[in-house]
Amino acid sequence: MTTPHNSANPGDIAKTVLMPGDPLRAKFVAETYLEDVKCYNEVRGMLGFTGLYKGKRVSVQGHGMGMPSIGIYTYELYNMYDVDNIIRIGSAGAIRQDVKIMDLVFGMGACTDSNYADQYGLPGAYAPIASYDLLERGVNIAREKNQKFFVGNVLSADVFYNDQGAPSVWEKMGVIAVEMEAAALYMNAARAGKNALCMLTISDEIYSGRELPPEKRQVGFTAMMEVALDLAASL
């Protein structure tokens, strides 16, 4: 069954999918780490690949930028392609001043300024969270690799260029970093009864203005990629 956004056929996509925002990062992961790789999607340039990692079937696909985009792609993967686990491997801006460029962040929860949850008609505010099993496994793998990491709340923002400036006010509530997709991913997973985890590499320090160039964001996050792949292989 194909969709307007995905040309994969039933069985083309593995039960576990790694998802970066940038489809070229998906291509890099597939070409660098996977064996027997097949490209299952090129629609709208949102590349998707399936291959083997340590003998385990794993897929990797881009999801684009923002909650509307990841909302579409993850909804289809969970509900139309019977995917069980989605691991976002994205970039983020550090809000806390002890979090530095290239540090790894696990999004245990995702605050948001989006109204994405309005569609569910809930009688209050919903708190999107990661799947504990994926979070625990991922943290243990990062620890085994001696990878520096942080675990906590992230902010999924609707706006990249915010007219009100940097979201540093969120630091007062313990938020570690800002990105644009985790909340929608976690809500889609909850609604579908599936699993999700957002892993982030810090590409910007909002408090200092330091940032990585685009190429480094595309191919430089290998520590995060390897943690995510080992996590996928453990499922």
Residue 200 resides in a domain: yes
Residue 220 resides in a domain: yes
- Alpha carbons 41 and 48: distance in angstroms, whole number: 5
Which residue in the block uniquely carries the two structure tokens 């550090």?
Answer: 94
Residue 32 resides in a domain: yes
Residue 9 resides in a domain: no
Which residue in the block uniquely carries the two structure tokens 């040309």?
Answer: 7
Residue 8 resides in a domain: no
Both tokens assigned to 198: 């957002």
Say what the pLDDT of residue 90 is.
Answer: 97
* CA diameter of the chain: 48
Question: Where do the DSSP E strands lie in the chain?
Answer: 16-19, 35-41, 48-53, 56-61, 85-94, 104-112, 149-156, 177-179, 195-205
Both tokens assigned to 76: 């289809």
For residue 158, the SS3 value is coil
Angstrom CA distances, 115 to 20, 95, 110, 118, stand at: 23, 22, 13, 5
Quote the number of domains for the chain: 1
Q: Is 230 a catalytic residue?
A: no
Question: Residue 15, CB half-sphere, CA atoms under 13 Å: how many?
Answer: 10
- Domain span including residue 59: 16-234
Residues present in the chain in total:
235
Residue 4 resides in a domain: no
Beta bridge partners of residue 205, listed in sequence order: 94
Residue 87 resides in a domain: yes
Q: Tell me, what CATH number does 172's domain have?
A: 3.40.50.1580
User: From first to last of its 235 residues, what are the pLDDT tens digits of the chain?
Assistant: 789 999 999 999 999 999 999 999 999 999 999 999 999 999 999 999 999 999 999 999 999 999 999 999 999 999 999 999 999 999 999 999 999 999 999 999 999 999 999 999 999 999 999 999 999 999 999 999 999 999 999 999 999 888 877 677 899 999 999 999 999 999 999 999 999 999 999 999 988 989 988 777 766 799 999 999 999 999 9
Residue 56 resides in a domain: yes
Catalytic site residue from 22, 103, 204, 230: 204
Angstrom CA distances, 70 to 44, 53, 194, 218, stand at: 14, 24, 15, 18
DSSP 129: B
